[in-house]
Amino acid sequence: MIDFPGSTRVGRRLPKEAFYKHLQLSAALKAKFVSDVDRITVENSLTKDNLNLAKATDVKEILLLSILLKKQDFDGKIVEAIARQNPHKLIFLLKYEDQRQLAVYHSKLYRSDWVPEGDLSLSLTGDTLDSIWEDLVRQIAVHSTAVLEKTDQTIDEQLKNQDEIDKLNKLIKKTEAAAWKEQQPKKRFELYTRVQKYKEQLEDLIHGKA
């Protein structure tokens, strides 16, 4: 459930054609926008006033945009283009049939896993829009418990650690698969040795030794 106060509710549908005409898109990406996106709605607007926050900060407004998709395997560059060319801080709620995904752009695009609508969770934590924004990014982009437990780190440090963990996990999986298929004992041993090195790096990163 997305637990945002009623005072932030907007529920305004944006004409898709008018929306993408204001974006600088390649012809290919514009075609994907037309083919992949059904409807865009501004669901919520988070501001200092409607959240009754005492302190003004650099972030002035956070918008929750819902995007109803025509297909689940859409091009993520569509969301990235919207985020990069919009002056607001944007959280995206992507919808396909009964599945939901959250996305946010913070130096790069981060997307949560697809989950059933009832399993979706997003809440507001913080006493300024800056801290609320950082926590929203954290909820969507950071999924490692070890990273979340490092509360002394900035959001950028946490995202960097999460990216490194994801990269190592992919390398481990890819190298293990290659080792499984390798027929030559010497090469297979080299691949398994590489896997062990990646796993050691992962352990060091998770436990703060990297």
| C-beta separation of 195 from 174 below 8 A | no
Is 119 inside a domain boundary?
A: yes
Smallest CA-to-CA distance from 137 within 104, 109, 170, 169 is with 104
Is 148 inside a domain boundary?
A: no
Q: Please state, in angstroms and rounded to a whole number, the distance separating the CA atoms of residues 199 and 3.
A: 38
What residues make up the domain containing 168? 155-206
Give the C-alpha distances (Å, rounded to integers) separating 31 from 27, 159, 179: 6, 32, 41
Residues 136 and 174 occupy one common structural domain: no
Residues 15 and 84 occupy one common structural domain: yes
Residues 135 and 162 occupy one common structural domain: no
Residues 134 and 162 occupy one common structural domain: no
How many domains does the structure of the chain reveal? 2
The per-residue pLDDT for 131 is 96
Residue ending a domain, choose from 116, 141, 166: 141
Residue ending a domain, choose from 95, 113, 141: 141
Residues 95 and 160 occupy one common structural domain: no
Residues 135 and 174 occupy one common structural domain: no
Is 33 inside a domain boundary?
A: yes
Residues 24 and 118 occupy one common structural domain: yes
Q: What is the full DSSP assignment across 107-138?
A: SSEEE---EEGGG--EE---SSHHHHHHHHHH
What is the number of alpha carbons within 13 Å of residue 8 lying toward its C-beta? 21
- Angle, to 10 degrees, between the axis of helix 27-36 and the axis of helix 77-84? 110
Residues 103 and 65 occupy one common structural domain: yes
**Is the sign of the CA dihedral 198, 204, 205, 210 positive or negative?**
negative
- Give the predicted TM-score (pTM) of the model: 0.85
**What letters, b where the CB count within 10 A reaches 16 and e where it falls short, cover 6-18?**
eebeeeeeeebee
Smallest CA-to-CA distance from 136 within 45, 67, 62 is with 62
Residues 99 and 165 occupy one common structural domain: no
The per-residue pLDDT for 150 is 84
| C-beta separation of 105 from 78 below 8 A | no
The per-residue pLDDT for 25 is 85
The per-residue pLDDT for 208 is 66
Which phi and psi angles does 13 have, rounded to 5°? -80, 135
Residues 25 and 127 occupy one common structural domain: yes
pLDDT by 10s per residue, the chain, length 210: 898 999 999 999 988 877 777 788 888 888 888 899 999 999 999 999 999 998 989 999 999 999 999 999 998 999 999 998 888 999 999 999 999 999 999 999 999 999 999 999 999 999 999 999 999 999 999 988 888 888 888 999 999 999 999 999 999 999 999 989 988 989 999 998 999 999 999 988 888 654
Residue where the block lists tokens 């297979």: 188
Is 177 inside a domain boundary?
A: yes
Residues 104 and 183 occupy one common structural domain: no
Residues 67 and 124 occupy one common structural domain: yes
The per-residue pLDDT for 152 is 85
